[in-house]
Every structure is written in C-alpha cells, then in structure tokens.
Chains A and B, each alone.
Chain A
Amino acid sequence: MSNTSAYVKEAPLVKGNHTFSSITALVGDIVEKPTPLWWYIAFGISNLVMAMMFVMVGWLIWEGTGVWGLNNTVAWGWAIINFVWWVGIGHAGTLISAILFLFRQGWRTAINRFAEAMTIFAVMCAGLFPAIHVGRIWVIYWVFPLPNQMQMWPNFNSPLLWDVFAVSTYFTVSLLFWYVGLVPDFATLRDRVKNKLAAKIYGICSLGWTGGNRQWQHYEKSYLILAGLATPLVLSVHTIVSFDFAVSIIPGWHTTIFPPYFVAGAIFSGFAMVMTLMLIARKIYGLKDIMTDDHMEKMNIIILVTGWMVGFAYIMEFFIAWYGGVEYEKFAFVNRAIGPYAWAYWIMMSCNVIAPNFFWFKKMRRSVTVSFILSIVVNIGMWFERFVITVTSLAQDFIPGSWAYYSPTYVDVLTYVGTFGFFFTNFLLFLRFMPMVAIAEIKMVMPQADVHNYDENGELLEDKH
C-alpha cells in the first residue's frame, strides 16, 4: 500500500509520549499540590458575584417580579432566556460523555469529566430561574403532583410541568453518570494523597474501589447503561424546553422544527462553553498533551456543524413564515429582522451563523486565539437567540395598543451575572478537589494502550501503519 503526502493521518489522542504513571501524576498533581494563589483570588471574586446573585434573588422574593423589566406583553423575559441558555450549555457535557461514548469516540476522554461537571453546574444555574419566577416561591412544591386536600393538581397538559420532570431526571442521571465515572479516579487520589483526612474523604467517595476485574466489569456495564439513559434524556430536555414555546400558537414560537433546532442549538452553545473552559484550564494546568490541538479542531468542527444546523433552522423558519402565508407569522419574522429588536436579531445571526464559518478553514480551527474568541462569540449569539425568540415574539402581540419596548432592569442583569459567580464557585471547587480529567479513561485511548501499537519485540511503533 502506498502512502502519499496528501494523506492526513489521524493524530494520537495523547501527545508527549506519556506513560500511564505520568498521566496519573499530571492530573493528580493538580489536586495534590498546594492551592495556588490565583485560585483563592478567582474563588473570592466568584463568591462575591454569587453573593450578589443571592441578594438579587432575595430582593426579588421580597418585592415580587415587579423588580424585573417584565411588562404587559413580555411576561417572560430574562428569566426564561437565562434558563434556556444555561440548560443549553449543559447539554454539551452529556453529548460528550454519553453520545460520543456510544459512538466510540475516543477523543471525548480528554474533556468529558469537566464537561460533565459543567453540565451539572449549568443545570443548577438554569433551575434557579423558573424556580424564582413562580412568584410565590414558598409554594414551589406545588409544581410536583402531590396529593392534597385541596384536590389541586398541576396542569399535566403543560410543557412547563414536563420541564420539571425532564430537567430533574436529566440532572439526576447526569450526576450519577458523572459520579460513576469519578469512582476509579477517586480511588487513585485516595492512594496518592498524603493528607490523612483527604485520603479518608476520597476513600469514602471511591466506594471501596480496588480496581479488581469484577469491579471493572460492573463499572463498564453501569457506565454503558447510564450513557444509554442519558442520551434520550438530553434530547428530551431541550425538546421539552422547545415545547414550552412551540406548543403555543404565538407567531414565532409555533413552528415544528423547534425540537431538533433547540437540541442542536444547545449542543452548539455547550460546545462553545466547553471550548472556553478547556482553553483556560489547559493553559493554567499545562494539560496540552491531553487536551491537544486536535481536540480543539474536532470540537470546532462540531461547532461549525451545529452552527449550521441552527442556521438551517433559521432559514427554514423564515422561508416557511413567508411560504405558509399566515399573516401574523410573517409579521413576527419580518419584525425580528427589521423591527425594534433588529439589533438583537442581527447579533444572533452574525454570532451563530456567520462567525462559525471561519472554522471551514483548518488554520482557524487550530488557532487557539480564534477558537477562544469564537467560543465566546457563539455563547453571546446563543443568548441572543433565546432573547430573539422570547422577546420579539411577545413584545408585538395581537393588540398594537399594548406594544411597549422591553428592557431589563438592573435586577435582571445582576441576577444573570450572579449566576456566573455561582457557576464558577462550583467549577473552581471542582477543579481544586476532583480529578478534572478522567484518568482511567484517558489511559485506555493512549497509543500505549493499543495492542496493535507494538511490534514483535514489544517496542512501541512510531508509525501506526
């Protein structure tokens, strides 16, 4: 077989000719070494921002939803936008950990652990918004169908109720999935840390893991089952989130492509967030051998693909809004593009559909700067997508007399900013105390672990063919 220069060979998933123990050391040291100063600073700032969130939420509960910028027509403002945005961010974690696992994509192992952590914290941030939006938070348990003397039940026909079930199930399964994956790595840390108390805690968390044959069998099986469960769940969550809008007959909301379009958008924004976090984390912790430029390139391809799925949906919606011949639908869409919120629409279009096209070029896909900037651009774009969907469809409703320009108040803005504090507080704790890369899993995809990668004398083959 000939091998010409035009053929591009696939790069190994772990670079730098590591051994198994050097990988363990690389990841384990992050947790075992003394806390660096920057961590305290970052943690302090995050805590302050998070405290601001609690103040804002407190003020909201004390005073009522009037402190937000909601008006007559826009009864769903930043809260629902932020909810959808954060839930969407979370989806990439499950996609990487569960769907790519089922597709046997070895490269997921470098990023799955912290992407899953991101999922869990993002879903927590998301859950906050509908909870505080109910108005009377002290009766929030009414969202659950609890038998009661008043014979009062939630509306089972409402997608908002399905959301309660979908999101809570999703959160539970994601958490379990994350934890199951962590067990062998907790055991590794248990055996490595010098501090007695830390060893004890990691020991409890590792559930008596010894790395025995039977344990690995059970582990693999449960991991596969959880991946199989998480995959439909990730689809169902954003599908039901899209139903929140699409089942109603509000022009701009009621369109059949919403479910897959929301799921694609969620993965799009989630991958962008994973990219942002990955580029920061690998820089700080020197993990370039594990999270290589090839990983970055693959993720950028997914961002490009999902970006165009979203773009496809925008174009279909616009086309059908005209083709359908429904006057109100047409108005809603034209109004998005040239109405009072056109600025938001065009931010959305440029960030989500135009910007990712840089990734058609290999050079751009492999550039850290471009990847970092675009990952943030995409997240901005996806926030505006939800803004466009929610606000533009509501603001100009069927009665022109009630049209009013929607703008948020400082409480809206600061609550949203505050959730970043909440997110990063959790994320920093995770980076500090848990193995941020799946040590056991990454070893399985190293060139050294491939039985076909040794010659007859047991020497590692440089060239894979």
Chain B
Amino acid sequence: MANIKLTDSLEFPDSASPMRLLISVGVVGVIASLVGVVVNTEQFLFSYLFSFSFFISIALASMFLVMVHHITRSSWGVTLRRIPETFSSYIWVFVLLFLPILFGMETLYSWTQEQYSWFYEGLREHKSPYLNTTFFIIRNVIYFSIWSYLGYSLYKYSIKMDETGDWGIDTTLRKISAPGIFFFAFTLAFASFDWIMSLNFDWFSTMFGVYFFAMSFQALFAILILMSLYLRRQGLLLNTITRSHIRDLGGWLFGFSVFYAYIAFSQFFLIYYANISEEILYYTARFEGNWEILAFIFLFGRFIIPFILLLPKKSKSNYKLLFAVSTLIVFSHLVEFYWLVMPPLHSSFSFHWLDLATFLAFAGIFMGMFFYFFKRQSMIPKNDPKLQESLSKH
C-alpha cells in the first residue's frame, strides 16, 4: 500500500505566530471598550453583544463541524481538523465573556424593563415564564456547560490520540459527537432566541435557530479557508493541507452559501408574503432608512457574489479568489449580525467607534487564544486513523 509520509513539520513555529499583533490589537480594543463602558454604556453593550455573537458563532460552528466530521467518519478534512477543534476547545472562555451581557441585560433586553411601549401590552407578562432574568441565567448556564464540555473533550481526546496513537479514541470521539450534535442543535437554537431574537421580544420565528446556524456554518468555512491560506503563506503544512483540501473547503463554502441563502430567504419570504403585523415589523425596522443598505451588502456579499464567483470548478482552487470571497463572506457575516443586533438601539445605521473597539477586543482575545493553543500541539491530528486517506486525497 502506498504509504504517504508526512513531509511537513507539524510544529507551529513562533515566527509564524501573529501573537504580538493580536496582543496589541486586543489591548487597544479592551482599553477602548473599557472607556466605552464609562462613556456610553448602552452603546457599549450593544456593540459588545454584536461582537460576542460574531465570535461565538465561529466557535460553535467549529464544534459542529468537528462533531459532524467524527460521526460521518470523514477523511477529507482530517488534516484540517485541528483548526476547528482548537476554535471550539476554549468555548469556556465565553462564559467569562458573557458576564458583561449578563450584567447589562437590563439595558439590552427590553423584556427586563418595567417600562415599555404600549404596543407590547400584555406580551411581556405572557412571555415572562420564559423571558425572566432567573431562567435566562439558568438557560445560559446550561448552554455554556454543554458547549464547554463538548468543545473541550473533543479537543482533549484528539490530543490524547496524538500522544498515545490509540485509535480506539476515534470511537470515543464518535460517542461524544452523536449525542453532542443532538444537544448542540437545541442549545444553539434556544441560545439564538435568548441572545438575539429576544432583543425584539415581540418578534418570533421558528426558523431563527436554523438561521443562526446557517449563518455561522457558512462563515466558518470562509474562516477555515483564510486560516489554511495563512498557514500556506507562512510556508506551513504545504504538503499536508493540499490544494485538494482547500478545493473541498471551497466546495463546502459554495454549498453552505446556498444553504444560508435558502434559510435566510425562506424566513424572510414567508414573513414578507404573509405580511402580518406580529412578524413583519421586525423586517420593516430593518429595511427602514439606511439599514436597508446593510441588508443589500450582505445579500450580495454572502450570497450573490460568492455564488457567481465560486460556481466554476476552477475557482475553488484559485487561492486569490478564495481569499477575496472568504474575506467578503466574513465581512458580510459581521454586517448581518450588526443588522440583527443594532436596530433596537438605533433607528438608522450609524457606525460607532465602540463597534470597532469591542470587535478588536474580541478579535485579540479569540484569535490570541487560538494561536496560544494551536502552538502547543501538533497542527494536525498526527495519529488519526484516517490521516493516510486524507493525505492521499487528490
């Protein structure tokens, strides 16, 4: 049997780590955000929630990808798997990062306030068995416990396989993943209801959890492409993460761009078509004034342009094009979260410096953690039973 040898070094060298940059970005972001807390608490909280949603969506989507990878016994992505594994390994950090939202929930979520518009007469009382502070906290404790456990154990066992070379761990990982996906689906849906949907607590959509997932999963593939290209640029894993792996990522990105569009459109379309006041106000608020511009940015940025550009087979292995499209999609993902989170605060879109400050703070922390953990281990699951198959992929 043709035995393809690993020719690349699996150590992530210090020289490739953008740690210094990330620390400075993070420090600037954190200081600016702290200033923001004092200057404009309300704006800070909304900007914070927006940045929080963006980064946790990447971590959660990563966790889902790892679990799906295990239960389907996929081989194509083995060489890539350490990246999402690392992203989701430190979801526990988000427990701490969630605290500002918890402390600021009376500002963020109008259902916590006694005073609210006459329009919602009775609704707050009706929803109070679900939307109340205590239950909100309990639910979030449940979400974060499940995710922290899953993210950390998927990582830990994979590392253990690196060290011991025990292929039996593959079975353990699948045994974690199968129920993991089950719990993931429900917790993710309810978390998206709690964090984002309940900002407008009059509004409801059964699709919202799926919508949040579809957004995140699409963005994850863009992030993975950017990460792989970054490693390539640093001259790392050139024969391990090959053109064919990146081409597959491109294929997934294309597929999930369509999936995202399908879900987002279905949700919008059904509400638009029925045009009843219980639901339509959510969208009318988001199509008013210059909010509409944002909607068009992500409509083109994460569906129409990527769809056209990624459709030809060739473009899926064109690194420059993939880089451009992935950047556009990540940006659009950001814009879409902004569009979901901000309208309760501002009736028209106006960029605030705190949006950038909280984003930089999160970027510094999230990516800093990533490189911190990524450096400590081999960059790929080097003793995975499917590694050979993944390496010989063409």
Contact = CB atoms under 8 A, between A and B. Distances in A.
A302 to B, nearest CB: 11
A3 B167 contact: yes
Contacts of A10: 73
Interface in B240-286: 258, 262-263, 266-267, 270-271, 273-274, 276, 278
B383 interface: yes
A258 B171 contact: no
Contacts of A454: 1
A138 interface: no
A452 B392 contact: yes
Contacts of A465: 1, 385, 388
Interface string B1-24: 110000000000000000000000
Interface centre among B76, B206, B266, B392 (most CB of A within 10 A): B206
B185 interface: yes
Contacts of B116: none
Interface stretch (A76-84, A316-324, A425-433): A316-324
A325 B392 CA distance: 56
Contact of B262 (A235, A243, A323): A235
A465 B167 CA distance: 13
B274 A248 contact: yes
Interface centre among A2, A248, A259 (most CB of B within 10 A): A259
A249 B274 contact: yes
Interface in A286-304: 301
A306 B385 CA distance: 28
A5 B278 contact: no
A281 B388 CA distance: 37
Contacts of A325: 122-123, 126-127, 202
A154 interface: no
A453 B2 CA distance: 9
A1 B165 CA distance: 6
A460 to B, nearest CB: 11
Interface string A1-41: 11111111010000000000000000000000000000000
Given A235-B262, A325-B127, A256 B205 contact: yes
B168 interface: yes
B207 interface: yes
B170 A7 contact: yes
Contacts of B276: 249, 254
A8 B171 contact: yes
A394 to B, nearest CB: 17
B205 A320 contact: yes
Contacts of B262: 235, 239, 259-260
B230 interface: no
B270 A7 contact: no
B157 interface: no
B166 A256 contact: no
B204 interface: yes
A326 interface: yes
Contacts of A1: 165, 167, 383, 385
A5 B207 CA distance: 43
Interface string B177-210: 0100010011001000100000000101111111
B130 interface: yes
A140 interface: no
A260 B1 contact: no
A232 B258 contact: yes
A239 B270 CA distance: 11
A461 B127 contact: no
Nearest to B130: A323
A246 interface: yes
A316 B206 contact: yes
Contacts of A260: 207, 210, 262-263, 266
Contacts of B168: 4-7
A320 B273 contact: no
A320 B185 contact: no
Nearest to A316: B206
A323 B392 CA distance: 51
Contacts of B270: 243, 246-247, 254-256, 258-259
Interface centre among B1, B126, B170, B273 (most CB of A within 10 A): B1
B206 A247 contact: no
Interface string B25-44: 00000000000000000000
A360 to B, nearest CB: 8
A257 B207 contact: yes
Contact of B210 (A2, A8, A257, A326): A257
Interface in A71-108: 104
A3 B209 CA distance: 40
6 contacts: A1-B165, A4-B166, A243-B270, A247-B273, A316-B189, A325-B122
Interface of A: 1-8, 10, 104, 232, 235, 239, 243, 246-249, 254-260, 301, 308, 312-313, 315-317, 320, 323-326, 360, 451-455, 461, 465
Given A247-B274, A249-B276, 14 more contacts: A2-B164, A4-B166, A4-B167, A6-B169, A235-B262, A246-B270, A256-B270, A257-B206, A308-B182, A316-B209, A323-B130, A323-B204, A452-B2, A455-B1
